[in-house]
A and B are shown apart, each in its own frame.
Chain A
Amino acid sequence: MSDYLDEPRLQKPLAKSGQPGVTIQREAAVEQASLIEISGLNKWYGQFHVLRDINLNVRKGEKIVICGPSGSGKSTLIRCINCLEEHQEGSIVVDGTRLTNDLKNIETIRREVGMVFQQFNLFPHLTILENCTLAPIWVRKQSRKAAEKLAMEYLERVRIPDQANKYPGQLSGGQQQRVAIARSLCMNPEVMLFDEPTSALDPEMIKEVLEVMVELAQEGMTMLCVTHEMGFARTVADRVIFMDEGQIIEQAPPEAFFSNPRSERTRRFLGQVLNH
C-alpha cells in the first residue's frame, strides 16, 4: 500500500484489511494517482441540462464534500460515478476502469464503490447480519463464515454488534444508517459515496452517524460526501466543492472555502446555510 496519507492513523484501517485479491486491471500505482477521473461530464434529463462540463479528479485517500442548493446536480453527480444514473457525454474512470455501457465494467466499478443513501435502503426482509454478508458472499464469493466474521468486525466498528440478528425495522434511523455504512464497508470498497446520509435523521441521531463517518475519514478512506453538514466539511474535508445549476462553481480546501469564498453565489449560499 502506498503511503498516501499524512494524517495520523488512529486505528487499523477499516478498508483493505485482509481481503481476497480482486482481479481488475489497475493503472500503474503512481503516487497521488487519481482514483476517480471525471472529465467533460454532461447529463440531461430529457431537455433539462442537469450536469454541465464537470471535471473532477479524486486522489486516493482524499475526502471531498460537495454542497450546493437543492437541484444543483450534486446527488446526480455522485450517482453517475457508480452508474445509478447514466451520463450522455464525457468520461468517468474509476480505479483504472472506464465506465461504459458494458455491464461487466459497471459491475466491476460498483464492487469498488460503496454507497450510502439518504433513505438507508437496507433490505427489510433480511437481518442486519444478512444485510452485511449478502454481497460479500455472492459478489466476492467469500465463505459464509468469513463474511460473517468480517460483518461482525464492521458492525462493532459502527457500534451496533448487539443488533446483528434484528431486522432493520426494529432499529432507529441512526442505527440503520450505521448498518448501511457497515454493509458498504463489508465489500472493502476503494471509495465511499455518501448521498446526504444525515438528511433523513433526527438531530440527535445525526451525531452518531457523523462520528462514524469522521472515524472512517481519519482511517484514510477515499470519500465523496454530498451533505449540508458544514461542521463535518470543516473537520474532515480535503476539498469542498460548491455546485449550482449543474456546474462546479468553486472548489477549495475548507479553510479557504469557508473564510474566503471567491464567488458571489458561494457567499450567498454559505450565508444561508451557516446563519441559522
Chain B
Amino acid sequence: MISHDSNMIPAREPPATAVGVLAWGKNNLFANPLSALTTLLIAYGLYLLVPPLVQWAFIEATWFGTDSNACSSDGACWAFITARLDQFIYGFYPEEQQWRADLFFAQLVVLIAWLSFKATPGKKWVLGYSLVMMPVVSWFLLYGDLLGLEKVETHQWGGLMLTLLLALCGMIASLPFGVLLALGRRSNMPVIRSLCTGYIELWRGVPLITVLFMASVMLPLFVPEEVVFDKLLRALIGIILFQAAYMAEVVRGGLQAIPKGQFEAFNSLGLSYWQGMIMIILPQAMRLVIPGVVNTFIALFKDTSLVLVIGLFDLLAIIQAGLNDPAWLGNSIEGYLFAGLVFWVFCFGISKYSQRLEQQLHR
C-alpha cells in the first residue's frame, strides 16, 4: 500500500500540448514544416471547394417542382429526383400494384435486419429461407398470375426494384454454383476437372455485355419460339452463369489455402468426400474468402446496370431515360449523382456487413 503523506508528489494534469485536440493537431497536422504546408494547402483547397458545393447542393437547391422551370439556375434541381422517385423505385410497375413491390422491399428489410442483429432467434431457418425460398417467393410476388394476383409482365419492372432483384438473385445463385465449380476444378476426376476449367475460362473470357446480348438477341434466333422464356429471366441466368465463373476462382483460392492435413484428417476418419467438404473444408475456406466474395458481390451489384443494353430499365437506365424527358432537360448531374449515391449506399452496406461477419467469425 502506498501511503499518501505530504512528501508524495500529487498527480498533475499533463501539459496542454501532450493530450487533447492541440496535441493531436500538433502530431498529425503540423509535425514538421512540410506537414504544416500540406495541411494549409489542403485546408485552402477545401475552403475553395466545399462552401460552393454546399451552396449548390443544399442552400440554393430546389427540392420540389413539376418541371425544370421550377428550379433556380444557381442550385441543384433535386425536384427532378423527387418528382420521379416513384418511377426510379418501381419502374413502370402499375401504380395500383405497387404494394407488391413494397412488400418485396419490406421482406428484404426484415430479412436483413433479422440476420444482422445478434439477439434474433432461428437464424439458420431465416438464412435458409433467404437463400432458397426468397428469390422464388419474390418472383411470384412481383410476377403474379397466381393466387389471384394480377399478372405484371417483366418488361414493366424497373428501377431500384429491378436492380435489387437482379443483384440479389445473382448473388444468391452464383455463390453455390461457384463453389461447385471450384470443387470441380480441384477434382481428381479428369473429365469433371476439365469441364469445370473449360467453363470458367470460357465465361471469364467474354465480357458481360456479350453474354447479355447472347441471352436477349441470339438465343431466340436459335431456339424455337415456344421454348424461349422471359427476357428478364434470360438476362438473370446470363448474369448468374457469368458471375459463377468469377466466384469459382475466388472460392478456389480459399480451398488452396486449407492445409493438406485437413483433407487427410477427415479422410482418415472415414468421412466421405462430400461430408468432409461440407463440414470441414468449406467452412474454413469460406471464412478465408469473405473479402473476395464480397468484392465479387459488389462488382455484380454494379454490373446489373449493364442490362440497359438489352432494354431492361434498371435504376441507372430509368434515370437516364428520365433525363431525356423534355420537361426535365439539363438535369444530368443531379440524376447521375443520385444514381451514384444509391449504388454507393448499397455497396457500402454490403461491405460493412461483411466486415462485421469477418469479425464475428474470427474470434
Chain B residues positioned under 8 Å from A87 (CB to CB): none
From B265, B287, B363, residue with most partner A Cβ within 10 Å: B265
Tally of chain A residues near chain B (CB < 8 A): 23
CB distance from B220 to the nearest CB of A (A): 44
Would A121 and B279 be within 8 Å (CB), given that A134-B271, A139-B270 are in contact?
no
Residue contact A110 to B269, C-beta cutoff 8 Å: yes
For A184, what are the chain B residues with a Cβ–Cβ distance below 8 Å? Answer: 268-269
- A179, chain B: closest CB distance, angstroms: 12
Q: Is the CB of B261 within 8 A of A117?
A: yes
A183 cross-chain contacts in B, Cβ below 8 A: 269
The 4 A-B pairs with the shortest beta carbon distances in the complex, nearest first, are A121-B265, A121-B261, A111-B270, A135-B269
- Residues B261 and A135 in contact, CB atoms below 8 Å apart: no
Task: Tell me which residues across on chain B come within 8 A of A122, comparing CB atoms.
Answer: 265
CA distance A233 to B263 in the complex (A): 30
**B284 adjacent to A138 (CB under 8 Å):** no
The B contact surface, by secondary structure, is helix
Minimum CB–CB distance from B287 to chain A (whole Å) comes to: 7
- Among B231-289, those with CB < 8 Å from A are 259, 261-262, 264-272, 275, 279-280, 283-284, 287
What residues make up the interface of B, taking CB atoms closer than 8 Å to A? 259, 261-262, 264-272, 275, 279-280, 283-284, 287, 363
Q: Which of B270, B279, B284, B287 has the most CB of A within 10 A?
A: B270
* A115 proximal to B (CB < 8 A): yes
Cβ contact within 8 Å between A121 and B264: yes
Q: How far is the CA of A110 from the CA of B268 in the complex (A)?
A: 5
Decide if A107 is an interface residue (CB 8 Å cutoff): yes
Q: Which of B268, B272, B280, B287 interacts with A82 by CB under 8 Å?
A: B268
Query: Which of B268, B275, B363 gathers most chain A CB within 10 Å?
Result: B268
**Beta-carbon contact of A117 and B269 below 8 Å:** no
Chain A min CB distance to B221 (Å): 45
Known interface pairs A84-B268, A138-B279; 20 further A-B residue pairs with C-beta atoms within 8 A, sorted by A's residue number: A82-B267, A82-B268, A84-B267, A107-B270, A110-B267, A110-B269, A110-B270, A111-B270, A113-B268, A115-B264, A117-B264, A121-B259, A125-B283, A125-B284, A125-B287, A134-B279, A139-B271, A139-B275, A167-B363, A187-B269
Whether A117 touches B265, Cβ cut-off 8 Å, given contacts A125-B287, A134-B279, A138-B279, is yes
Taking CB as reference atom, which chain B residue is nearest A115? B268
Mark out the residues of chain A between 78 and 125 whose CB falls within 8 Å of any chain B CB in the assembled complex: 82, 84, 107, 110-111, 113-115, 117, 119, 121-125
**Shortest distance from the beta carbon of B290 to any chain A beta carbon, whole Å:** 14
Which chain B residues lie closer than 8 Å to A84 at the CB level? Answer: 264, 267-268
A230 to chain B, nearest CB (A): 26
Which residues in B have their C-beta under 8 angstroms from that of A187?
269-270
Q: Is B275 within 8 A of A138, CB to CB?
A: yes
Shortest distance from the beta carbon of A120 to any chain B beta carbon, whole Å: 8
- Asked whether, in the complex, the Cβ of A114 is within 8 Å of the Cβ of B284, the reply is no
Name 9 interchain pairs, CB-CB below 8 A, sorted by A. Answer: A111-B270, A119-B259, A121-B261, A121-B262, A121-B264, A134-B269, A134-B280, A135-B270, A138-B271
**Within 8 Å CB of A134, what residues of B?**
269, 271, 279-280
Q: How far is the CA of A113 from the CA of B267 in the complex (A)?
A: 11
Shortest Cβ distance from residue B259 to the other chain A in the assembled complex, whole angstroms = 8
Cα A139 to Cα B270 in complex, Å, equals: 7
Question: Chain A 121-156, CB within 8 Å of chain B: the 1/0 string?
Answer: 111110000000011001100000000000000000
B265 nearest CB neighbor, chain A only: A121
A171 CA / B108 CA spacing, docked (Å):
42
Q: How far is the CA of A184 from the CA of B268 in the complex (A)?
A: 9
Residue numbers in B under 8 Å from A111 (CB-CB)? 270
Q: Which A residues, 25 to 84, have Cβ-Cβ distances below 8 Å to chain B?
A: 82, 84
Contact A123 B262 (CB under 8 A): yes
In the assembly, what is the distance between CA of A124 and CA of B262, in Å?
9
CA distance A183 to B201 in the complex (A): 41
Neighbouring B residues of A138 by C-beta, 8 Å: 271, 275, 279
Residues of chain A lying within 8 A (CB to CB) of residue B269: 110, 134-135, 139, 183-184, 187
A59 to B265, CA, bound (A): 25
Give Cα distance in the complex from A197 to B282, angstroms: 27
Chain A hits for B268, CB < 8 A: 82, 84, 110, 113-115, 184
